[in-house]
């Protein structure tokens, strides 16, 4: 089982739609969580960190459920410019006191006019 | 501007010809890492470094070398490139190991083709 799993996608939605991405992680030593956005052939860019209380940034809302080891990203009122791949990213505490960053495979989103 | 800089952006080379992809960050980050990204396989870690003179293998280190002589630089070396190393490469950095909530900052990528 992969340490971080995401919906395989792709998601095809019309402009204005609400779309939700799900992500699960298997390691209970996971410490912190992020959503990144990656446009085709470009570098991943941080979209938002995910906090236990949930957090919102404009049209984007991230939720974390530690008990279920589940993270979500909700995009409201989708725009054409939201078309991208969304990566779920987890920092996991290692055995030697450090931590490593694990990436999900990503979910591709296409927003159509 | 805080950034991670990779060079070159694009590189076409032939099998066996040694090459180096440079990576530099100006954020005084302790941790640096190299990834490759291939269709359907996502981001896979090649090597990482927790600080100067400290490097370790990631998930796919075969065929690669790295060095960390200075905090800001973390070059990726392919001693004898092969076609299966054709890929999109990203360098990334973040603050040190105590900063669990720190996200990775990525360079803008190097697209390597080995013929």
Whether residue B63 contacts residue B47, with contact meaning beta carbons closer than 8 Å, is answered with: no
For the cut 70, the answer to whether the pLDDT of residue B87 exceeds it is: yes
Q: Do B106 and A43 touch (CB under 8 A)?
A: yes
A40 Cβ neighbours under 8 A, 6+ residues apart: A84, A85
Candidates A32, A43, A98; nearest CB to B50: A98
The CA–CA distances, whole Å, from B57 to A24, B31, B34 equal 26, 13, 10
CB atoms within 10 A of CB A87: 25
Q: Do A44 and B90 touch (CB under 8 A)?
A: yes
For the cut 70, the answer to whether the pLDDT of residue B47 exceeds it is: yes
Give the model's pLDDT for residue B12.
97
Whether residue A88 contacts residue A104, with contact meaning beta carbons closer than 8 Å, is answered with: yes
B95 touches A at CB < 8 Å:
no
Instruction: Label residues B24-59 b or e (16+ Cβ within 10 Å = b).
Output: bbeeebbbbbbbbbeeeebbebbbbbbeeeebeebe
Extended beta strands in A39-83, E state: 45-50, 55-57, 60-65, 70-75
Condensed to tens digits (0 to 9), the pLDDT of residues A33-68 reads 999 999 998 999 999 999 888 899 999 999 999 999
Give the model's pLDDT for residue A41.
86
Give the model's pLDDT for residue B97.
67
For the cut 80, the answer to whether the pLDDT of residue A83 exceeds it is: yes
For the cut 90, the answer to whether the pLDDT of residue B101 exceeds it is: no
The CA–CA distances, whole Å, from B79 to B8, B20, B53 equal 17, 8, 20
For the cut 90, the answer to whether the pLDDT of residue A85 exceeds it is: yes
Distance, in Å, from the CA atom of A53 to the CA atom of A64, rounded to the nearest integer, reads 7
A9 touches B at CB < 8 Å:
no
């Amino acid at each position: 089982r992969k340490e971080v799993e995401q919906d395989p996608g792709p998601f095809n939605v019309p402009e204005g739609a609400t779309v939700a991405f799900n992500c699960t992680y298997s390691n209970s030593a996971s410490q912190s969580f992020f959503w990144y956005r990656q446009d085709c052939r470009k570098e991943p860019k941080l979209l938002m960190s995910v906090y236990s209380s949930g957090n919102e940034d404009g049209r984007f809302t991230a939720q974390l459920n530690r008990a279920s080891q589940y993270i979500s990203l909700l995009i409201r009122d989708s725009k054409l410019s939201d078309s991208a791949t969304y990566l779920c990213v987890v920092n996991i505490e290692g055995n030697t006191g450090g931590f490593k960053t694990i990436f999900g495979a990503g979910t591709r989103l296409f927003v159509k006019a | 501007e805080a950034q991670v800089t990779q060079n070159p952006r694009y590189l076409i080379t032939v099998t066996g010809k040694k090459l180096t992809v440079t990576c530099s960050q100006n954020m005084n980050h302790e941790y640096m890492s190299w990834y490759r990204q291939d269709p359907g396989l996502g981001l896979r870690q090649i090597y990482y470094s927790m600080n100067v003179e400290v490097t370790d293998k990631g998930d796919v280190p075969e065929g690669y070398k790295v060095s960390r002589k200075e905090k800001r630089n973390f070059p990726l070396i392919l001693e004898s490139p092969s076609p299966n190393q054709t890929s999109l490469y990203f360098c990334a950095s973040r603050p040190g190991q105590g900063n669990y909530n720190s996200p990775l900052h990525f360079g803008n990528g190097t697209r390597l083709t080995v013929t």
